[in-house]
Amino acid sequence: MDLNDIWQENKRFITTVGSGLLVFLIGLFVVDGMYAGDIRTVERQNQSARSKLRVNMFTSDDREVARDENDALLTSFETLADAVAFKPRPEFDLKERAGSARNVYMSSVDQVRNRVEDLASRRRARLPEGLDLERLETNNVDAIERNLHALDLLERVVVLAVESGVKQVRSADIKLDPAFTARRGLGSIERTKVSVDIVASPDAVARWLLACETPADGNAEFSVRQQALPIDSIDARRAASKSDEVSAKVTFLVVRVNEVEDSEDEDA
């Protein structure tokens, strides 16, 4: 088959391909003529950026300054963490107690109930049955530890409430930080909430809140006023039963500060 036969049989196809190639070449020349300068400018900028990345932009002195600043920040963080983190009393610290975490918690619940009920009876104050403490349906040691610390805080605020003249604690509630069971994990600051709903005179409420936020002077290691008890929210209103009393729901925080890793560069 000669070229003439090939042309006759495929001239339509060859014409289409040739036209397309011609259009492509024309477009390429047009683009190159219009944007060649811009393309070369971008290429030079990219080359310059790559060159800068190869150069060590920071000196050893810069690294020392950064390390000193990091150390100062870590020291500040540790100081603040120590100030705000909840410090459980020894009897509410699993590390100080023998036996399983679950048994320690159940024993602590019974002891707290007996102590606060005895105090309330002597001060003629009313408490919710069993302090509204529900049965703990978990064997997770971390969850039990957090509930144990919340129990410590609950006893402190109830004792201070009764001693301040609060005549009725209507309810109590403990809620672990939602992040404790979330997939994303805990952040650097963990907050367990302990809410107490009380009815009392305005003066008694004021005395109670002041006592909660004022740690005892001197060595108060075993005192309920060992440290200030952070308050997250207060919802107070006039009591429905008596005009000279207020109903207040106060939410306290058991603050837990998780560790911050101090990492060094591999080549440091």
| Residues spanned by the domain of 4 | 1-48
pLDDT below 50 — which residues of the chain?
219-222, 263-268
53 in a domain, yes or no? no
Phi, psi angle pair for 114, to nearest 5°: -65, -40
Same domain, 5 and 112: no
Q: What is the count of structural domains for the chain?
A: 2
Same domain, 23 and 155: no
Same domain, 42 and 105: no
Residues 91, 221: Cα–Cα separation, whole Å:
11
Contact 85, 255 (CB under 8 A): yes
Same domain, 110 and 212: yes
Q: Tell me what pLDDT residue 261 has.
A: 54
Same domain, 141 and 248: yes
187 in a domain, yes or no? yes
Residues 219, 204: Cα–Cα separation, whole Å:
26
Residues in CB range of 176: below 8 A, 6 or more apart: 143, 146, 147, 150, 192
60 in a domain, yes or no? no
Residues 72, 66: Cα–Cα separation, whole Å:
10
Contact 159, 120 (CB under 8 A): no
Same domain, 44 and 91: no
- Which two three-digit tokens encode residue 213? 């936020």
Q: Tell me what pLDDT residue 170 has.
A: 95
pLDDT tens for 233-264 read 999 888 777 778 999 999 999 998 877 555 44
Using CA atoms, how far residue 239 sits from 198, 236, 257, in Å, is 10, 9, 37
Q: Tell me what pLDDT residue 99 has.
A: 86
Strands 168-175 and 231-238 come out as unpaired
217 in a domain, yes or no? yes
Burial degree of 34 (CB within 10 A; 0-12, 13-18, 19+)? exposed
17 in a domain, yes or no? yes
Q: Tell me what pLDDT residue 267 has.
A: 43
pTM: 0.69
Same domain, 242 and 113: yes
Q: Tell me what pLDDT residue 221 has.
A: 45
Cα 152-258-107 angle, rounded to 5 deg: 25
Q: What CATH number is attached to the domain comprising 195?
A: 3.30.70.60
Residues 5, 100: Cα–Cα separation, whole Å:
97
Same domain, 112 and 14: no
Same domain, 93 and 43: no
- Which two three-digit tokens encode residue 233? 């929210």
268 in a domain, yes or no? no
Using CA atoms, how far residue 165 sits from 126, 161, 198, 225, in Å, is 11, 7, 11, 16
Same domain, 32 and 115: no
70 in a domain, yes or no? no
The one-letter amino acid code at 102 reads R
Same domain, 125 and 217: yes
Q: Tell me what pLDDT residue 218 has.
A: 52
Beta strands in the chain (DSSP E): 168-175, 189-200, 231-238, 246-257
Same domain, 105 and 207: yes
165 in a domain, yes or no? yes
